[in-house]
Amino acid sequence: MKLIPGIVPPPGGTEPTWWFIFQENKLLIYQTPESVTLPFLMDLNELGLIVIRQNYLGQFENRHCYAGEVAEGTTPPKGMTFEGLRQVYGRLEEDLFWIATRAVQIVNWDRTHQFCGRCGVPLKMKTTERAKECPQCGLLHFPRLAPAIIVLVERGNELLLARSRHFLPGMYSVLAGFVEPGESLEEAVVREVKEEVGVEVKDIKYFGSQPWPFPHSLMIGFTATYTGGEISLNDEEIEDAGWFTIDNLPRIPGKISIARKLIDGFVGKHGKVSQE
């Protein structure tokens, strides 16, 4: 992401700024047949929208960026629509897309953290970090972030893929799960694989990470090597799991996901370039 993050908005602007405006989790976009663009405006009033909350995000290519929220039921301006982030991936410029994933999380945090959870008084936004502070008890409230591990398990030239009940028909992916309090990432990998499919792994290696704003995860990717155990489905969420070679892969997640990057990495290592 090429955003230089900031918290305190600049003094009254004389230059156009990018606006990431959300209604719930949907982003306000201009849609043309070829692509999707965002409002880039001298003055937000040009859109004739009432923004109920706004947060400064920082600078992208020397232009200021703001996240804003409009009330439910707000009609989009002419030529514009509100769309889910997954739907705009691949059509909106990639850098702006990833800024939008940050923007939606800040908008959601701002909306759902208006009052102190301890004393119930309205919170004040801090100017030194992305946090809100209770003026009465001093409790700090940071944006929620839920770390989750995602792991590609290898066994020779095979990889382990599983199917959640919530997936699209025929879709399989690598295993993933939330990190529990007090657990290291490596411990989370071992536990999740054991819990979900009953096998053991070793050689856990960091692969990469990706923000996943649905609604506020950070996916931390690993590869691991199978060491033993038969696949057994213990988790109600998982309806099928199995070993696949690159020649018999099922339907897999789209390019937006780190799951796909993990699978593409495995496929690349075993000698084939991924399609789509």
Summarize as ranges the residues that interact with Zn ion (CB under 5 A). Answer: 116, 118-119, 134, 136-137, 139
From the CB of 237, what's the least distance to Zn ion, in Å? 36
Q: Read off φ and ψ for residue 269, nearest 5 degrees.
A: -65, -30
Report yes or no: 151 and 175 within 8 Å, Cβ to Cβ.
yes
**How does DSSP assign 69-123, residue by residue?**
EE-TTPPPPTTEEEEEHHHHTTTS-HHHHHHHHHHHHHHHHHHH-SB-TTT-PBP
Q: How far is the CB of 113 from Zn ion (least distance, A)?
A: 12
How near is the Cβ of 144 to Zn ion at its closest, in Å? 17
Based on CB atoms, which residue is closest to Zn ion, 132 or 163? 132
Task: Select 75 or 114, whichever has its Cβ closest to Zn ion.
Answer: 114
State in angstroms the smallest separation of the CB of 140 from Zn ion.
10
Tokens 């929208």 sit at which residue?
Answer: 49
116 versus 188: smaller Cβ distance to Zn ion: 116
CA atoms of 148 and 47, how far apart (whole Å): 38
**What span, in angstroms and rounded, lies between the C-alpha atoms of 64 and 8?**
11
How long, in residues, is the chain?
276
Residue type, 39: P
Report, in Å, the least distance between residue 132 CB and Zn ion: 10
Give the span between the Cα atoms of 33 and 37, in whole angstroms: 11
Distances in Å between the Cα of 166 and the Cα atoms of 171, 173, 198, 237 are 10, 12, 20, 8
**DSSP category for residue 93:** -
User: 83 or 110: whose CB is closer to Zn ion?
Assistant: 110
Nearer to Zn ion, 117 or 215 (CB): 117
CA nearest 152: which of 237, 76, 253, 232? 253
Q: How far is the CB of 127 from Zn ion (least distance, A)?
A: 19
Q: Tell me the closest approach of the beta carbon of residue 115 to Zn ion, in angstroms.
A: 9
Residue 118 or residue 124: which is nearer to Zn ion going by CB? 118
Q: Which is nearer to Zn ion, 139 or 145 (CB)?
A: 139
* Torsion from C-alpha of 167, 213, 116, 179, nearest 10 degrees: 60
Using left for φ > 0, alpha for ψ between -120 and 50, and beta otherwise, residue 227 falls in alpha
**Could you tell me the two tokens for 123?**
């919170």
